[in-house]
Structure 1
């Protein structure tokens, strides 16, 4: 599916030049966990995560997200998407631990394939993707942001972003790692991945996890301003350049996709890993009580 999507980018690049027709607000559509709102400016939509309490990447969320993104990609009215959270304070807490704890191998395989699909569809998308990070964004939430063409984070010391899998007793897969290395460099990624570092906004900007940090009330206006800059570039040249930069890394996952699923299932099924997840989930319960 990802390869087909990449092919469509090249086939239709020439027909997606220029400014698209303004989108009628009545075309807003929403699933239970993802809300898509067309912007007044031509060709832009906002995708809001709506999966309380912390926008975790559950199987249902992943499925709805990919469907929503596909609708936008197939509608030539759209050229760009702003990704954000409907609930300020939490962009996304990342992978849903309940999908990885106490389930059977078939479920783990289904879940991991959906996580892969989300990343491939975002990373290879022909659309301009701008992340308006209006809350905490650990682990899988950080991964979603890393797939975007530009990342803007709210300047709030309570918010942090990073791949903190090691703190949970699990390991970021190779394609998480590759995406992170390509963003911040090998040494910074190696240190952060081993320590499970979560960067507050200023540090995230310094290391390159995000491109810009702005006052919290300016995140969305800045995202629209950045989107306008990217929309000024002809689609065909931008899309071909994006594909040239990203195709090799995406192909690496596509080539190893089944092996990666089996590795995940084998790893997450270990008694030691299930025990670590159990302890972590118990700590979360205690914090809530």
Structure 2
């Protein structure tokens, strides 16, 4: 019991303070179950026991299961079943004690930690926004396996419990009290144990859980109640619409929650264990844990950030008040970064500020902002047509049109605004940073900062290192991106960098399928089934066919200027074959009145009936092939970027692909997708696709060998 401090007071109340040795948080490590078993033995034998309080010596209450152990599980069988059942048995013993048990929640109680709280008779939490409670297992491809699904459903009822379980939402104290996830709030941490003991003294007989009492009824109605049956049916349909059947965890959570209402409580707990075991070794769980827990934490904690002191910008300038520039200015203002929004015409600059006003008004309409907060945000944006005073701006973001000559001129004209310690970023999506840096007096202070549209929703920035960009500039850029609440993904300079290269392959594969003779509606459906947010033809319309053509021609002109052949997008042959004729027909995309789709006055869209003319073949392409072509094409291009050194880490490849491009969430990202499929299986399938559809799917063996090496090192 070295991890549990056991103290009994004069009133017979035992306070158990959890303090897992050698780690910063309390978790269900290998010592947890034996320690809890010993603790239960001691409590059950304790003479004169009147109550139990669970507290924590850490800054958080309890963090739940050890994800490294789960990630290392290749197969889950009888051994894992018994381990989980043994751990759950200790929670069941706690709630069978003949005295009240209270959780004194001083900080985050998540996953197994909140499941411990559910096993208590009363939950007291400190009034601190960091003292969140919840069961976020679904976000890791798992379900709450220590009784969380069964107890949450029994405590709150199906209607209230399901959204919390299926979304994995982490709830702050006041809302948790309102929902019923906690029972009492105290002002300070020092008040927790006294409040817990006071409740025990006032409720000495409150030791039987509701679900163990005779005549227990589920809040809101039992399984046969018409409203609950309607909830079950509606939840199943909504779940499929949301997950497309690609995520097993939500489906299993729904199954356990619903089925638990129809069976004995202890039998329900065992069923929950069986469903949990079925998820432990799944590729979806490994993808989620690897990418969204360990990967995300690596980014947030700065593991891929250059060493050095934290840097903070206090003033900024955004050049160009179009959609991107206006969005960046809003992102700045939302985080209190004073920003000069410069355009050639004051009307444009004012219109750019108006974009932020519209976003604020939407937030007010949804109850997420008030007028004072709106005014404070808007006061951070200063529309202008002239430069700021020389040396007065910490960070400049150039966000003008994707024209290299225009960018060269703007960069040279506005550089003097930069402070001695400042950095200059270009929001280019494809143009080489090293070439743009030639317009700078100090190219080491120039870097790419590629935002994504719409900026207020796409919370990721691709940071591009030029040949002369210094590590000091990268550190500052990294800190700036985090300062405004976005996720930084660092890449090296290359035509199209990472995101634009991979995104281009997604759109092109849609065109390739069209050329091969697949029906347009089937192409879009295949992308939906693959897990992409929208289909490639719809995406092309949103991006605009004309913009794609301009980018291609810009790079052709750049090749002539440099006397090189960059081969940028050289596999994207179908894009040229399909979109150039469409543009000549006046179909440039949604903003031009129509592209792959026709649009009516209300914004509704229908596929253009003229797309059949681009079919050069009449291939009977299976849905399976179409899905694989869409996913493998992007994964292979990501692998190329990693192999070429454009991408520096697999973590950034995975998170960047999901957050910036929309690579399917359930895969954990493109590189994780390859590993989840199995490198050898992926290689074999890619060869099949290459033999059948073209060498854009061909990958040199050396790339797979290097990926195996990194996988072996990680293991």
The question of a shared fold, defined as TM-score above 0.5 by the shorter chain, is answered with yes
Residue among 121, 136, 145 paired with 2:108: 136
Q: Give the superposition deviation at 1:243.
A: 4.3
The whole-number CA distance in structure 1 between the counterparts of 2:208 and 2:150 is: 21
Q: Which deviates further from its counterpart, 54-63 or 207-216?
A: 54-63
Aligned partner of 1:18 in structure 2 is none
Matched, 1:205 2:177: yes
Aligned partner of 1:47 in structure 2 is 16
Residue among 248, 251, 255 paired with 2:267: 255
Matched, 1:159 2:131: yes
The whole-number CA distance in structure 2 between the counterparts of 1:228 and 1:193 is: 33
The whole-number CA distance in structure 1 between the counterparts of 2:215 and 2:108 is: 26
Structure with more relative contact order (C-alpha pairs < 8 Å, separation 6 or more): 1
Matched, 1:265 2:277: yes
Matched, 1:223 2:196: yes
Residue among 52, 60, 63 paired with 1:90: 60
CA RMSD of aligned residues (A): 2.8
Q: Is the alpha carbon distance of 1:243 and 1:188 closer, same or farther for their aligned partners in structure 2, counting shifts above 3 Å?
A: closer
**Equivalent residue of 1:105, what SS?**
coil
Q: Is the alpha carbon distance of 1:162 and 1:256 closer, same or farther for their aligned partners in structure 2, counting shifts above 3 Å?
A: closer
Q: Give the superposition deviation at 1:132.
A: 0.7
Gaps of 5+ in 1: 1-30
Any conservation in 1 of the 2:131–2:172 contact (CA below 8 Å)? yes
**Equivalent residue of 1:101, what SS?**
helix
**Equivalent residue of 2:52, what SS?**
strand
Q: Give the superposition deviation at 1:260.
A: 4.7
Any conservation in 1 of the 2:129–2:173 contact (CA below 8 Å)? yes
Gaps of 5+ in 2: 218-259, 304-715
TM-score, reference length from structure 2 = 0.33
**Equivalent residue of 2:123, what SS?**
strand
**Equivalent residue of 2:102, what SS?**
strand
Any conservation in 2 of the 1:138–1:163 contact (CA below 8 Å)? yes
Q: Is the alpha carbon distance of 1:276 and 1:246 closer, same or farther for their aligned partners in structure 2, counting shifts above 3 Å?
A: farther
Matched, 1:196 2:178: no
Deviations for 1:138-195, whole angstroms, at most 9, x for unmatched residues? 1111111111111100000122001111222222359422211222232111111111
Q: Give the superposition deviation at 1:261.
A: 4.1
Q: Which deviates further from its counterpart, 178-187 or 213-222?
A: 178-187
The whole-number CA distance in structure 2 between the counterparts of 1:275 and 1:164 is: 15
Matched, 1:70 2:41: yes
The size of the alignment, in residue pairs, is: 253
TM-score, reference length from structure 1 = 0.77
Residue among 116, 119, 125 paired with 1:147: 119
The whole-number CA distance in structure 2 between the counterparts of 1:116 and 1:174 is: 5
Aligned partner of 2:5 in structure 1 is 35
Q: Is the alpha carbon distance of 1:245 and 1:116 closer, same or farther for their aligned partners in structure 2, counting shifts above 3 Å?
A: farther
The whole-number CA distance in structure 2 between the counterparts of 1:221 and 1:118 is: 25
Aligned partner of 1:179 in structure 2 is 151
The whole-number CA distance in structure 2 between the counterparts of 1:152 and 1:68 is: 21
The whole-number CA distance in structure 2 between the counterparts of 1:159 and 1:74 is: 33
The whole-number CA distance in structure 2 between the counterparts of 1:163 and 1:241 is: 20
Q: Is the alpha carbon distance of 1:60 and 1:253 closer, same or farther for their aligned partners in structure 2, counting shifts above 3 Å?
A: farther
Q: Give the superposition deviation at 1:257.
A: 6.2
The whole-number CA distance in structure 2 between the counterparts of 1:110 and 1:265 is: 10
Aligned partner of 1:113 in structure 2 is 85
The whole-number CA distance in structure 1 between the counterparts of 2:165 and 2:210 is: 28
Deviations for 1:57-110, whole angstroms, at most 9, x for unmatched residues? 1231122022112211122321210011012x3010112212212135355334
Deviations for 1:187-226, whole angstroms, at most 9, x for unmatched residues? 1111111111111000000101111111123111111111
Q: Give the superposition deviation at 1:274.
A: 1.8
Q: Is the alpha carbon distance of 1:278 and 1:45 closer, same or farther for their aligned partners in structure 2, counting shifts above 3 Å?
A: same
The whole-number CA distance in structure 2 between the counterparts of 1:94 and 1:174 is: 9
The whole-number CA distance in structure 2 between the counterparts of 1:178 and 1:242 is: 10
